Amino acid sequence: MQYHKADIWLYSIGVSMFADELFKKLKPILGEEIYPLQAIYTAGDEEDKRNVERVLRIVYANTVTGIHHKITQHIDGKVCMAIDGLLTVSEGESFSAFEKLKGSARTSSVKNLQKEIIKLQQLRSIGISKERIKDVPFEVQKLLKRRANNETASEMRNHPDEIRYGLMSCFISIRTMEIIMEC
C-alpha cells in the first residue's frame, strides 16, 4: 500500500521525466530514504532541482555499481565462463544462445514446451541460483534483467566483467522464473 501511495504522490506533483525515472529506479534500493530528496526536488527552485538530479545520478551510478560488485562476488570462474559462452555465436549459428533465450513461446504446443524446457535446462546449467543474488532486491533484479534483455550479445560482451556478470546473472535468474511461470 505504501508503494502505491508513493507512486500516486510522485506522479501528482509533476516530477520531471528524468528525475521521475531516477526516483523510480532508486525507490526499491533506497526505500524511504528517497522521500527527503523528493520533497526537496518538488519544493525547491531550479538550482535545488538540478542539485537533486545530480545527487540522484551519483547515487544511482554508485548503487548500481555496488550491486554489480555484490553479485559478482558470489560468482566463480566456471559460471563466468558459462555466461561468456552464452554471449558467443557458435559456428554455423546466426544468433548467440543469449539472443535465443530472450524469446518466449508464441503458442501453447508440445513442440514449444520442449523448446522452453531446453531453455530452462540451459539456464539452470549455468549455475546462477537465487542464493547467489539474494542480497539484491527483486525489483532491482527485474530492472537489471530488463536492461540485459534490451542489449545484444555484442553490446553485453563490451561491458566490463563486473557489469556483464551482474546483468547476466539477473537476466538468467529472472528468465528462469519466467520460463517456469509460462510452462
Q: Over 90: is that where the pLDDT of 165 sits?
A: yes
Whether 52 and 142 map to the same domain: the answer is: no
Whether 113 and 48 map to the same domain: the answer is: no
Whether 50 and 109 map to the same domain: the answer is: no
What average pLDDT does this structure show over 95-111? 83
Whether 64 and 102 map to the same domain: the answer is: no
- Alpha-carbon distance of 110 to 65, in angstroms, equals 42
Using 50, 70 and 90 to split pLDDT, how confident is the model at 86? very high
Domain of residue 110 covers 76-182
Q: Over 90: is that where the pLDDT of 4 sits?
A: no
Residues of 29-46 as b/e, b for ≥16 C-beta within 10 angstroms? bbeeebeebbeebbeeee
**What's the pLDDT tens digit per position in 30-49?**
777 777 777 777 777 888 77
Whether 145 and 123 map to the same domain: the answer is: yes
Q: Which residue has the higher pLDDT, 38 or 163?
A: 163
Q: Which of 71, 103, 129 is the last residue of a domain?
A: 71
Q: Over 70: is that where the pLDDT of 129 sits?
A: yes
Residue the block writes with cell 546466426: 94
What average pLDDT does this structure show over 143-158? 91
Whether 129 and 168 map to the same domain: the answer is: yes
Per the structure, how many domains does the chain have?
2
Whether 92 and 175 map to the same domain: the answer is: yes
Q: Over 70: is that where the pLDDT of 1 sits?
A: no
Whether 64 and 89 map to the same domain: the answer is: no
Whether 89 and 178 map to the same domain: the answer is: yes
Q: Which residue has the higher pLDDT, 89 or 42?
A: 89
Q: Over 70: is that where the pLDDT of 111 sits?
A: yes
